[in-house]
Amino acid sequence: MRAPENEPAEPVAAVEPDLAGEIEFLTVRAAASGTRLARARLRPLGLNVRSYSVLALAGSGDGWSQRAIAAYLDLDPSQVVSLVDELEAKGLLTREVDAADRRARRVRATPAGTDLLVHARQAAAEAEDEALAALAPEERAVLLRLLRRIVFAED
Amino acid sequence: MRAPENEPAEPVAAVEPDLAGEIEFLTVRAAASGTRLARARLRPLGLNVRSYSVLALAGSGDGWSQRAIAAYLDLDPSQVVSLVDELEAKGLLTREVDAADRRARRVRATPAGTDLLVHARQAAAEAEDEALAALAPEERAVLLRLLRRIVFAED
DNA sequence: TATTGTTATACTCTATAACTATA
DNA sequence: TATAGTTATAGAGTATAACAATA
């Protein structure tokens, strides 16, 4: 699967493929396979990757606004609405008007949501471990640091 | 954008968010923003990220089969059909029956496709450079090597 | 029997625009 | 005038199943 069987013995290409040398290409592939693994393990819990992410935020802090969730997850605020709707309908989180700013809604996990989150985090961790099986712990730490730099432009 | 404005002063969470510590989460975010940058730069050329990838393979080697393209790009073979259809209709590549295996089609870039590919590769390189602006060249090399290990399970 | 390409379908994810209620 | 949430819609990406031609 990693290489085509029909690579020519003597290349005559005017342009080399070199996609394997493009970080963008590899990042997209890594993200896709990681998402696939995570999705498979979260499905039995009734979650997908995005609803898991929202639930994880709802289960932390003291009530995220939907705007803050959208910013943190790099989603459009309109996408957060349906994710929160879905989780609220399942009784996994609550959405309450913020007394200090009545435009905003504070999203918090319910006890049931917190319980599910424990299992979901375990599932996500297993998926990550499987996706990164080729890397030693120190290498994973390096990767984590580099990705943080890209995503949050920090360090 | 990187952090919510309403992080509590004194956290009371039963479960920490910690998504920023999950490589899966960061990889998906990095892939999404990289794709966004690449898409914006490829659009004026009439390409999206996936049609660019297929064209890049068609412009290299001596005629990839659609099956090999699917395996290399981690796409379902049925998805390759419509991508090749689209590029063929634009005259950017040809699809010919393989004489040695009449089930297979050999996909090759036309001169017009090769010309466009030169500009598309430049556009992709610019998008990558923008996406990785936070990293020094040596760090990009490290990232590249780690991603290759994950995606191709090699090294 | 197995594989290549194909068609079809449904679902998930992403991008935009417009609207409402509050500030 | 700007911001938080909402609704609606369209497009891109992904997953599956079934089929014809060929091996």
Give A9-52 pLDDT, tens digit per residue.
333 345 566 787 789 999 999 999 999 999 989 989 999 999 99
Helix (H, G, I), strand (E, B) or coil at A53: helix
Q: How confident is the model at residue A61 (pLDDT cuts 50, 70, 90)?
A: confident
**DSSP per-residue codes, chain B:** --S-TT--SS---SS---GGG-HHHHHHHHHHHHHHHHHHHHGGGT--HHHHHHHHHHTSTT-EEHHHHHHHHT--HHHHHHHHHHHHHTTSEEEEE-SS-TT-EEEEE-HHHHHHHHHHHHHHHHHHHHHTTTS-HHHHHHHHHHHHHHHH---
- Residues constituting chain A: 155
Q: Does the C-beta of B77 come within 7 A of strand C?
A: yes
A 10 A CB-CB count for A82 gives 11
Six token digits for residue A20: 């394997």
Q: Does the C-beta of A75 come within 7 A of strand C?
A: yes
Q: Is the pLDDT of residue B8 over 50?
A: no
Q: Does the C-beta of A85 come within 7 A of strand D?
A: yes
Instruction: Look at B56 and A32 and tell me if their CB atoms are within 8 Å.
Output: no
Q: Is the pLDDT of residue B122 over 80?
A: yes
Nearest CB among A3, A117, A150 relative to B135 is that of A150
**DSSP per-residue codes, A35-50:** HHHHHHHHGGGT--HH
Six token digits for residue A24: 């963008």
Residue nearest to nucleotide D17 (CA to C1'): B78
pLDDT, mean of residues A137-154 = 92
State pTM to two decimals: 0.87
pLDDT, mean of residues B99-128 = 95
Q: Which pLDDT score is estimated for A14?
A: 52
Q: How confident is the prediction for chain B on average, in pLDDT?
A: 87
Q: Does the C-beta of A102 come within 7 A of strand D?
A: no
CA distance B33 to chain A (A): 8
Instruction: Look at B154 and A21 and tell me if their CB atoms are within 8 Å.
Output: no
Q: Which pLDDT score is estimated for A71?
A: 93
Instruction: Give the separation between CA A35 and CA A53, rounded to whole angstroms.
Output: 12
Q: Which pLDDT score is estimated for B17?
A: 65
- State the amino acid at position A46 in one-letter form: G
Q: How confident is the model at residue B18 (pLDDT cuts 50, 70, 90)?
A: confident
pLDDT digit string, tens, across residues B36-94: 999 999 989 999 999 999 999 999 988 999 999 999 999 999 999 999 999 999 999 99
For residues B18 and B64, the model is more confident at B64
Six token digits for residue A5: 């069987």
C-alpha closest to that of A25 among B131, B19, B134: B131
- A104's enclosing H/E stretch is none
Interface test with A, best of B5, B6, B67, B80 (most A CBs within 10 A): B6
Q: Is the pLDDT of residue B9 over 50?
A: no
Q: Which pLDDT score is estimated for B15?
A: 56
- State the amino acid at position B49 in one-letter form: V
A127 CB neighbours in chain B (<8 A) are 24
Q: Name, in order, each residue with C-beta under 8 angstroms of A4's C-beta and a sequence gap of 6 or more.
A: B61, B64, B65, B68, B69, B71, B72
State, as a whole number of angstroms, the distance between the CA of A71 and the C1' of D2. 18
Instruction: Look at B131 and A20 and tell me if their CB atoms are within 8 Å.
Output: no
Say if strands B64-65 and B105-109 run parallel, antiparallel, or are unpaired.
antiparallel
